[in-house]
Chain A
Amino acid sequence: MSSVGVAAAHGSVADDVLAAATKLAAEAPDEAMRADAQAIVERLRGPLRVAIAGRVKAGKSTLLNALVGERLAPTDAGECTKLVTAYRRGAGYEVTARMIDGTSRNLAFNRAGGALSIDLGSATEADIDRVDVSWPTSSLETVTLIDTPGLESVHDENSRRTREFLEADAEGPGDADAVVYLMRHAHRSDVAFLDAFMDRSVTAASPVNAVAVLSRADEIGAGRLDAMASAARIAARYSTDPQLVNLCATVVPLAGLIAETGLTLREDEAAALRTLAATDAAVLEQMLMSAEQFCDMSSSQLTVEWRRDLLDRLGLFGVRLAVEEIRAGRATTASELGAVLVDVSGLQALRSLFRDHFAPRARVLQARSALLALRALLRRLPAEASALAAGIDRDLERIEASTTQFARIRALHLLGSGLVSFAAAADTDEVRTILVADAPEDAFAGSRGPSESQDALKSAALTAITKWRTRAADPLADPTTVELCDTVVRCCESFYAGILATSVTT
């Protein structure tokens, strides 16, 4: 679903919300409220905030590392992430803890073992609300990634932090604009979480801001060489599962560890893999049978420490794949192997999902969560500021009513997910063109070519309005189809109004 067009036109709604937030930040009666409003302003100005969530050990930190392209978040065999940690781009290296009591303090950290090791100092985890990591890397330029503790943890404390951080409640929306949800198989609790993450207040339930990742995909097929193909099939099935299709835009498979290591593979590791590949075939087959045998067998040139390292970095699937590639002569150096690993891992698909799904909508998604946050803030305004509250509330109402952007995003989802489909392919194309269009010319160009006169555009708009209004009134249409048609009509009407405005001025 291409939606580049939606993005460009949507600066305005974000700007409107920003204006409302700035006003509140300036005029709110007390310090705390002003600070909260200022935070909303900052968020709107900053990059998109994407949370990475999932059950315990789904591979969230590994995915974060793969997206950043370096080993930043600590990972471990056991449950590891205990605090909500935001990784943002910054001028320097800095780790800040935001405490429960509202203060913040800088934390000492080091990267001795590759990943970031943060020293909480005198604070305990219970005192800390969340951790901010500021890191100078270009991969965090357009997006701030937020690592969260696993859900369904045996240590309920950790899971609770994530739920509080992400889930919308009466206090306001979650603190993320979008979520990448990791699951190993679609578990009932995964569905329940995605359901809770949906905020239903603006534009009704819609998965515009959630994508699901079938994580640790190499392990689903038991590390066989065809494991990723198997995972892709499963992901495709989940993408159309009626219980998931309403909750997330799509499901993609990803082998996070393979991606992370592919991006950071060192030359000495490649050399070790080459040594391994040179081992006698029969012995190698035995070695690659299980992790235990890989480390136990004595007939390889490679030291046991090296083998353990390789397993930690690549897993059994990664080692099998790398050895296969080397033996087939397809890749030998670290950069070649790394490219193969990244390619197989499914990271590209996830990145293009970020590029095509989140990035174009970033401003709208931010505006959407800012709008919800502002609403929540307004409810907390004291009685003496009621005039201010009413004013801003009116502004928000106007923003929401005047923009078709939220509705468009939802409509595109309805179309893209197959929840609504038209018998004629031409209808589907027409709807999509109108929904992604920035200007009347794009919407109604159709077969008539770009050199469209104002009158022809006007009549095209009117034709479309009539057509889709009739469709919306079809007594046999189901409610979602009606909703989609209504959105199309609204779009056409706004384009028509735009055409009239331009023809008056010219």
Chain B
Amino acid sequence: MTDVHPAPQTAAPAAGQGPAADVVISELGKWLTREGRADLARRTAAAVARLRRPNTVVCVVGEFKQGKSSLINALLGQELCPVDDDLATSAITLVRFGDEATAIVRRKDGDKDVSESVPVGSIKDWVSEIGNPGNLKRVERVEMACNSTLLKQGLVVVDTPGMGGLGAGHAAATLGFLPFADGLVFVSDASAELSAPEIAFLKQARELCPTVLFALTKIDLYPSWEKILELDRRHLAEAKIDVPIVAVSSALRFEALRRKDRDLNVRSRVPDVIARLNDDVVQPAKTGAANRAAVDASGIIDQVRSGFQTERSLLTDPAAAGAALKTLEDAKARLDHLRGPGAKWTQVVGDRVADLSSDVNFRFRGAARTISKQMDERIEQLSKGNEWDDLSRHIQSVVAEQVTYVFVDLEQGRHDIRAQVVDLIRDEQLELAPEASYNSSYDVSELWQGKSLDTGSDRTSKRAFSTSVTTIRGAQGGIYMFGMLGSFLPTAAGVLLASNPVLLSVGLLFGSMGLIDDRKRKVQARRQAARTQVRQFLDDVQFEVGNQIANLIKEIQRDLRDEFGERLAELQRTYTDTATRAQADVQKSHAERQTRAGEIDAKVTDLGKYEAALRAAIARQA
């Protein structure tokens, strides 16, 4: 039979040396195309693309001046990110693999996006507080390439501006970036135990990116770092934050590299961090992506195979055909209903999306009102020209922060809605042939959610996926619909919005009030004008953000409907095909049925081979 339907030769695992998962899945895609299931083949193509996605993004975050840039340099073994006693990092910096060191600055010039290559040595003119105070150069981010073995596997390390500094908008930019990260390294130095704001930030960051590694830095400088480590561990336990902790000394690492001293390198503990980074962040992210692709593929395999198997069982037992066909028709009818406008899940999507929209709008309006009040108070106390500049920086940073929250909220809302719909559809019991002897019942959630491959019949872990957002993260890189500026990464919400024309106009907000106007009797008038302008500005922001929210909400709704609609359509197609073929089979002669049974067996064998190869590939990777 294999000569009629070319079997997946690649799928024959030769003692642990089988093809990689992406090869198996793309073979499966070709097989499905031959079977006339282009719809399912499209989905395998998406899974392959996801598997081949080369980058794992790790963000290094924490309060400012804790040694984030130093840690990155130590990890890379090169002095790439600018480090200074005083100057703090002020722009997001991505570092990925490249044969030679390059640096590209992405910034706004007027309304245009500009990307320019700059010498690596001059990078501190762009990403530090002193070289680029108040981000006057409007840098959105800097992308650097460097030849480091650590990055060769597709790791992208992101240096972020620290929390808590006096600069404007940094926190928002960092927070806005986190949903794109596969993992976080949270940095705090050994000079002091964790503070309340650090714990609060860690909690918030973990919501956005659950894979976190805690790095206690500067242990060379502090004799009692072990005590601090213990205190931090206790604080984290009290806050119920369970993250692995590593201690590290960037200074020793550089000393070791300078002296080529292997022993000292071990003492710096940087190799430990690299290992933990690989084990705790990079590998889980990669396996997460692989698992999800595998789950997708095996869901498809299950679906197609159970169709064939149902047909096959009818071929051998024509007496049962009537009842079986009726079951199929029932299932088709249920699916018709589910795909129709009256289905409960569509209503749920509609309702919940509307709720989400009003929640987010409400929260943002509330925040804008608070900002407006605070600005009024500040304006009341202002007198001098340079203070007005502070004011506009301040308003820009607080507004950017709130805007970031809006998008973070939307993203979280989307995950919640999705989880709820998955539950709903699961409750529909759409198994094709529940009474069939072969264990073909498949978990609906696996059609679109990443759970581990071997939980096909394990229904106890029903909600496991909703808490582990990581597994779908890699796949959903494009969820922030409003920006795919970069070649491999979408721009952070905060940064993008901070350079939005409306938000930028705040810089000009008080520009018209020259210093020459400092006449005493004009101060009141100026304050009044400032208040009006602040309100006008907040109005504009609300209008703009309101529009953005409305668009995003529409897209979220459409995406959810499309996604579930497609899955249901695939399922219905499988049912319909099965029913049509089964009906045709009934009319056939005994011999014809024998042949058909043989054909089906061959197809099922093919599918079994793909499945086995896939399992082997995933097992090898893990």
Contact = CB atoms under 8 A, between A and B. Distances in A.
Same complex for A and B? Answer yes
B223 A154 contact: no
Nearest to B191: A219
Nearest to A233: B86
Given A222-B85, A479-B383, A480-B384, A291 B225 contact: yes
Contact of A185 (B65, B197, B228): B65
Contacts of A316: 220-221, 223
A480 B193 contact: no
Interface stretch (B71-79, B100-108, B146-154, B516-524): B516-524
Interface stretch (A121-129, A186-194, A401-409): A186-194
A422 B283 CA distance: 64
A499 to B, nearest CB: 30
Contacts of A479: 383-384, 518, 520, 523
Given A56-B195, A188-B166, A290-B267, A478 B515 contact: yes
Interface in B183-242: 191-197, 199, 218-225, 227-228, 231, 235, 238
Interface in A58-103: 77-79
A237 B86 contact: yes
A56 B219 CA distance: 19
Contact of B193 (A154, A234, A315): A154
B447 to A, nearest CB: 44
A152 interface: yes
Interface string B363-388: 00000000000000000010111110
A419 B196 CA distance: 34
Given A77-B228, A308-B223, A311-B223, A153 B255 contact: no
A55 B198 CA distance: 12
Contacts of A78: 193, 227-228, 231
A216 B218 CA distance: 14
A3 interface: no
B221 A219 contact: yes
B195 A154 contact: yes
B459 to A, nearest CB: 41
Interface string B160-184: 0000111000000000000000000
A290 B270 CA distance: 14
A445 B490 CA distance: 70
Interface residues of A, number: 54
Nearest to B515: A478
Nearest to A291: B223
A77 B221 contact: no
A56 B252 CA distance: 27
A308 B381 CA distance: 52
Contacts of A184: 65, 191
A312 interface: yes
A156 to B, nearest CB: 7
A289 B221 CA distance: 9
B195 A289 contact: no
Nearest to B64: A185
A243 B222 CA distance: 31
B329 interface: no
A261 interface: no
B227 A77 contact: yes
A242 B223 CA distance: 36
B562 interface: no
A153 B195 contact: yes
Contacts of B440: none
A220 interface: yes
Contacts of B238: 154
Nearest to B236: A154
Contacts of A243: 166, 390
A475 B193 contact: no
Contact of A293 (B86, B166, B267, B520): B267
A289 B166 contact: no
A30 interface: no
Interface in A189-208: 189, 191, 205
Interface in B28-74: 63-65
Contact of B220 (A237, A242, A292, A482): A292
Q: When A and B form their complex, which 4 residue pairs have the shortest distance between CB atoms, in order from nearest? A: A290-B220, A57-B192, A77-B224, A478-B518
Given A57-B193, A292-B219, A478-B385, 15 more contacts: A57-B192, A77-B222, A152-B196, A153-B196, A185-B65, A189-B197, A221-B85, A237-B86, A241-B166, A242-B387, A289-B251, A291-B225, A476-B518, A479-B384, A479-B523
30 contacts: A57-B192, A57-B193, A77-B224, A77-B227, A78-B193, A152-B196, A154-B195, A159-B196, A187-B164, A188-B164, A205-B381, A220-B85, A221-B85, A222-B85, A222-B218, A223-B221, A230-B85, A231-B85, A241-B166, A243-B390, A289-B251, A291-B220, A295-B223, A316-B223, A476-B518, A478-B518, A479-B518, A479-B520, A480-B384, A482-B520
Interface of A: 55-57, 77-79, 152-154, 156, 159, 184-189, 191, 205, 216, 219-223, 227, 230-231, 233-234, 237, 241-243, 289-295, 308, 311-312, 315-316, 419, 475-480, 482
